[in-house]
Amino acid sequence: MDLEIIICGKTRGEGDTRHIVITDGNAEGKRIVIVDDLVQTGGTLYECGKVLKEAGALSVNAFVTHAVFPKESWKRFALGGDRACFDKFWVTNSIPTVTDYLPNDGIFEVLDLMETIINDLDHFS
C-alpha cells in the first residue's frame, strides 16, 4: 500500500482559539484519514479536517481510538451538524457508553474491539 503522510500542526491562541496548518505534505487530490488517539469536543480534529479540505483533499475521514464525546458532542459531527466535515468517522467501541448511541447515518462507524481483546487475553493467560 502506497501511503503518504501529511502532518498538521496546531498552535493555540488566546482563550480557546487554535490555528491549524499543514506543516508537511500536500493534501491536493488526496483521500485522507486523520488518525488520533481520542476525541472529546473535536475542535482540533474539525479544524484540521477543514484545513485539509481547503487544501484540495478529495475526501477527509477520521479514525479515533477513544470516542469520549462529553455531553453528546458527537452530534456536531453527524449529518447536519456544524462540524460535519468528515466523509467517514471511524471509532472503536472502547467507550461503549458513548458509541452505543452514535447514529447509523453513514458517517459514524464503530469498530468492535471485543474479539481482539478476548483473543489477546486468551493468548496471554
Q: Say whether pLDDT at 1 is over 80.
A: no
**Locate cell 484540495: which residue?**
56
Q: Which residues contact 113 (CB under 8 A, 6 or more apart)?
A: 92, 93, 94
pLDDT of amino acid 29: 96
> Measured between alpha carbons, how far is 3 from 82 in angstroms, rounded to an integer?
30
As a whole number of angstroms, the distance between CA 96 and CA 124 comes to 24
* Range 6-28 average pLDDT: 91
Span 67-79, average pLDDT = 97
pLDDT grade for 105, boundaries at 50, 70 and 90: confident
pTM for the structure as a whole:
0.89
Q: Are 40 and 64 in contact (CB under 8 A)?
A: no
**Confidence check: pLDDT of 102 > 80:** yes
Alpha carbons 76 and 69: distance in angstroms, whole number? 10
* Range of lowest pLDDT (10-24, 42-56, 99-113): 10-24
